[in-house]
Amino acid sequence: MTTEIELHYFFDPFCGWCYASAPALAGLADQFSDRLRMLPSGLFIGARPISSISDHAWRNDQRIQALTGQRFSKEYHQNVLLAPNGVFDSGPATLALTALGEHSTQLEPRFLHAIQIARYVEGRDTTDIQEVAMVAAKVAAEHDVELTAEVLAERLRNDSDLRERTLERVEETQRQMNILGIRGVPQLVALINGNAHIVSGEALYQGPAYLAAALDELCAAA
């Protein structure tokens, strides 16, 4: 009997633990490119002063780095977390991910990783629409999609249809999380022959080979 598998990845672009699972997600994007569905949870959509969470975020980030080896740079700490009048809002990045998905859903996991690198390693302000648009345009170009940062930035600011589709997508993600009893992100759910299996969080933080083995085990047991 053929095993049918579809993978649902629940995330937020500004979630440090989602960044911790980036290597595993990259493996999924390569192995299951046409069967990987990205579900943005909206966890950090809505501007708030970054000063209100900066100390907590940095402590959490240092813990993630110690446990997983994912790098959080001094530039990120200085230019993002300690930025005067900085804000914390994953809305622009979530909009850009949806916009890229209009061209190809396979661009979405690539963009997520690129925006994480821009933030956590390069120390760029990824709440800023122009910065987000530049990252998205670069990802598009790397996959032979013609999209300028200027055009995309204009859409992120003013495209009400894009905003509405993104909101609907987030609401559907939250509905699915409620149905499955998922409380946080990242989370990977494998639909195997139509049945949902929540993959252990441990598998997401130990790289693509470990995750692939966990999925093979689930498929074998299905």
Is it the case that residue 1 has pLDDT exceeding 60?
no
Q: For residue 2, name the pLDDT band (cuts at 50, 70, 90).
A: confident
Answer whether 69's CB lies under 8 Å from 206's CB. no
Q: What is the pLDDT of residues 204-213, one digit of tens each?
A: 999 999 999 9
Across the range 110-135, mean pLDDT stands at 98
**Secondary-structure percent of the chain, ordered helix, strand, coil, rounded to 5:** 60, 10, 30
- Find the CATH number of the domain harbouring 73: 3.40.30.10
pLDDT (tens digit, 9 = 90+) per residue, 61-93?
Answer: 999 999 999 999 999 999 999 999 999 999 999
**Residue among 164, 199, 204 at smallest CA distance from 17:** 204
End-to-end CA distance of the chain: 10
Closest CA to 120 of 195, 24, 13: 13
The total number of structural domains that make up the chain: 1
pTM assigned to the model:
0.97
Which range of residues forms the domain containing residue 150? Answer: 5-221
